[in-house]
């Protein structure tokens, strides 16, 4: 779906990214389901879409909806919005007994749209903070250089939420030690400014150099050298924010100065610990939580992030970002299967609330509390409000876009969810290549994932892509490819022994032997340590043993297993969704009212 384009037909504009229909520049009101259907029709370039395809795409094949009346009502409301006569339609055409098509749609880039505003007036400028070059000769400092750049990016994004679009950390990492010029990087990413720096050490002295470059003419508009290291990080952020603000708006506003003061800790060592903790937290959170939990991938990165977040709070007990980071650790550790929901989510909630009390405008704090409400409370309206608050304060926050996209997809709001995932991918194109595939799996687009990633030229992917590919291949009964993808993902996680075991069971007894080995491994692990009952329910579902599956699913429901909030999108349970027992399970899970 071309979520980064304007779709035009006659005097209408359908802005997919903004989820808005306009006629002659004026917004035309349309409810969610008709809007989703209009986006689906418009994105198919006049191709005929069957009613069955509409049911699958918009309701994910939900057998409990009144699909016939739902489609008829949505079509009627679209025609009213388009002022289309059903007897002699100009736009929305019914092909009797076949389906529907939208005629005359064309696509234009946002830059061609009539509502585009020029850079420097009310339009947002695009800024990239490159990873700081590590000139110390010590490889251990490389992660600090990346984390420092990441935190500068997050701070600037929050300060200029209405003016700045920060390009995120993983995309920035692509240009580490690159031979490309600033101009080449700017053209590739359509940038307006680049902040770059270096980190060096001579004897016991550490020196950090930074400079801000305007891409249009490659002019350096600000530069600084910082010593000693204990104060460097905070000074860089303060001065870089001031320099960029002065270039864009002449000066930092009083509100921005207040935001900056609250975001940065009293003790520079607290900030140093926080950015190191955030580096390790991000390394694990971009893996598929279900895959990690199923295969027992350890939480070393999570443990290291926790130690750094706790150190940040020891240095500055009033540092809101430290509480938000620690909340993220407890929540993500539960989702990744490291301990039980009751042992993690209540702590995550308390920490997020502490962060909000210290700084009510902190995007990371709103995101952390929204995650609790999504994964543990199953309170989707309040979770959605929280994600929106985080994104209002920092629209360049890719993790908030991605988790908000998951909520939208889980709620059956597929068009909105795909738009939100596309926004995340646009902010951080490299990291969110895997997230896009993950979103496609959540939306039930297994065949599309298989087609896209089996195509020639797709030979190298991130671990996340291989993890979700393993799911897509198994759903499509491409078992050899599922094994290959699983082995590749495990090897990229440095789990050679487990990848060898998967391959051995496949060669000895086929995929059924692999699934039985998975189940035996989970049951044995549960006798030694916490193992989510949802994982075991999934294993029985994959083995087509529904009685055992429901027993473990009931246990997962009793402990509020985190990933149950996405039960309706879980591919292993799809064959059982028509049963009354599964319907009763679904009724206990939040978000049912949004379907």
**pLDDT, tens only, 410-441:** 888 888 887 888 777 777 665 555 667 777 77
How many Å apart are CA 178 and CA 81, to the nearest integer? 50
**Least confident stretch, 17-26, 390-399, 566-575:** 17-26
Kindly state the tokens that stand for 298.
């350890």
User: Rounded to the nearest 10 degrees, what angle do helices 363-372 and 380-393 cross at?
Assistant: 170
How many Å apart are CA 229 and CA 3, to the nearest integer? 44
Q: What is the mean pLDDT of residues 21-47?
A: 81
For the stretch 569-592, pLDDT in tens is 899 999 998 899 998 898 888 654
pLDDT for 452 beyond 60: yes
Confidence at residue 231, expressed as pLDDT on a 0 to 100 scale: 47
Q: Tell which wins on pLDDT, 326 or 244.
A: 326
| CATH class belonging to 5-112 | mainly alpha
Q: What is the mean pLDDT of residues 320-349?
A: 94
Task: Kindly indicate the confidence band of residue 113, based on its pLDDT and cuts at 50, 70 and 90.
Answer: very low
Confidence at residue 118, expressed as pLDDT on a 0 to 100 scale: 31
**Least confident stretch, 94-98, 171-175, 370-374:** 171-175
First-to-last alpha carbon distance for the chain, in angstroms, is 22
Q: Tell which wins on pLDDT, 539 or 493.
A: 539
- Dmax (CA) for the chain in angstroms is 83
Count of all residues that appear for the chain in the document: 595
Confidence at residue 548, expressed as pLDDT on a 0 to 100 scale: 96
Confidence at residue 169, expressed as pLDDT on a 0 to 100 scale: 56
Confidence at residue 479, expressed as pLDDT on a 0 to 100 scale: 94
The CATH code for residues 125-264 is 3.40.50.11830
SS3 state at 340? coil
CB neighbour burial string for 294-308, b if at least 16 within 10 angstroms, e if fewer:
bbbbebebbebbbeb
pLDDT for 342 beyond 90: yes
For the stretch 463-481, pLDDT in tens is 788 888 899 999 989 999 9
Beta-carbon contacts of 215 under 8 Å, excluding residues fewer than 6 positions away, are 182, 183, 186, 191, 192, 193, 194
Kindly state the tokens that stand for 527.
């006798």
Residue ranges covered by each domain of the chain: 5-112, 125-264
Q: What is the mean pLDDT of residues 179-191?
A: 74
């Amino acid at each position: 779906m071309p979520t980064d384009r304007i779709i035009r037909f006659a005097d209408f504009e359908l802005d997919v990214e903004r989820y808005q229909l306009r006629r002659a520049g004026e917004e035309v009101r349309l409810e969610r389901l008709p809007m989703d259907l209009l986006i689906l029709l418009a994105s198919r370039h006049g191709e005929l879409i069957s009613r069955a395809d509409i049911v699958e795409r918009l309701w994910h094949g939900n057998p409990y909806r009144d699909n016939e009346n739902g489609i008829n009502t949505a079509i009627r409301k679209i025609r009213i919005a388009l002022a289309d006569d059903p007897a002699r339609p100009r736009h929305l055409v019914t092909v009797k007994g076949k389906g529907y098509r939208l005629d005359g749609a064309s696509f234009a880039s946002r830059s061609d749209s009539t509502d585009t505003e020029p850079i420097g007036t009310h339009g947002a400028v695009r800024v990239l903070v490159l990873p700081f070059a590590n000139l110390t000769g010590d490889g251990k400092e490389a992660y600090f250089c990346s984390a420092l750049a990441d935190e500068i990016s997050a701070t600037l994004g929050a300060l200029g939420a209405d003016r700045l679009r920060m390009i995120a950390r993983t995309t920035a990492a692509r240009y580490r030690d690159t031979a490309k010029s600033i101009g080449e990087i700017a053209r590739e990413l359509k940038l307006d400014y680049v902040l770059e720096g270096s980190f060096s050490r001579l004897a016991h002295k550490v020196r950090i150099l930074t400079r801000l470059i305007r891409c249009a003419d490659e002019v350096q508009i600000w530069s600084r050298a910082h010593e000693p290291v204990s104060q460097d990080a905070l000074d860089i952020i303060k001065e870089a924010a001031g320099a960029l603000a002065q270039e864009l708006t002449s000066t930092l506003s009083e509100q921005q100065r207040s935001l900056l003061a609250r975001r940065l800790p009293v003790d520079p060592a607290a900030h140093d610990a926080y950015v190191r903790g955030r580096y390790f937290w991000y390394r694990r959170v971009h893996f598929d939580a279900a895959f990690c939990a199923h295969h027992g991938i350890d939480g070393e990165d999570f443990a290291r992030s926790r130690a750094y977040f706790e150190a940040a709070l020891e240095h500055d007990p009033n540092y809101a970002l430290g509480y938000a980071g620690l909340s993220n650790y407890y929540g993500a550790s539960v989702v990744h299967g490291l301990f039980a929901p009751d042992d993690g989510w209540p702590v995550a909630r308390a920490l997020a609330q502490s962060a909000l009390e210290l700084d009510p405008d902190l995007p990371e704090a709103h995101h952390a509390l929204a995650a609790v409400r999504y994964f543990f409370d199953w309170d989707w309206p309040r979770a959605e409000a929280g994600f929106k608050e985080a994104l209002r304060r920092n629209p360049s926050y890719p993790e908030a876009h991605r988790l908000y996209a998951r909520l939208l997809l889980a709620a059956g709001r597929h068009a909105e969810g795909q738009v939100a995932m596309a926004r995340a991918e646009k902010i951080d194109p490299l990291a969110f290549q895997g997230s896009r595939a993950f979103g496609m799996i959540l939306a039930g687009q297994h065949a599309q994932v298989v087609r896209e990633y089996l195509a020639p030229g797709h030979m190298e992917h991130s671990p996340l892509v291989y993890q979700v590919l393993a799911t897509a291949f198994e759903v499509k009964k491409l078992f050899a490819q599922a094994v290959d993808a699983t082995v590749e993902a495990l090897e990229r996680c440095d789990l050679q022994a487990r990848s060898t075991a998967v391959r051995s069971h496949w060669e000895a007894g086929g995929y059924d032997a692999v699934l039985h080995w998975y189940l035996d491994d989970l049951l044995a692990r549960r006798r030694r340590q916490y193992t989510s009952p949802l994982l075991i329910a999934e294993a029985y579902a994959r083995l087509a043993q529904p009685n055992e599956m429901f027993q473990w699913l009931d246990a997962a429901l009793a402990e509020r297993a985190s990933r149950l909030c996405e039960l309706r999108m879980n591919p292993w349970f799809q064959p059982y969704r028509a049963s009354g027992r599964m319907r009763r399970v679904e009724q206990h899970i939040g978000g049912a009212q949004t379907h």
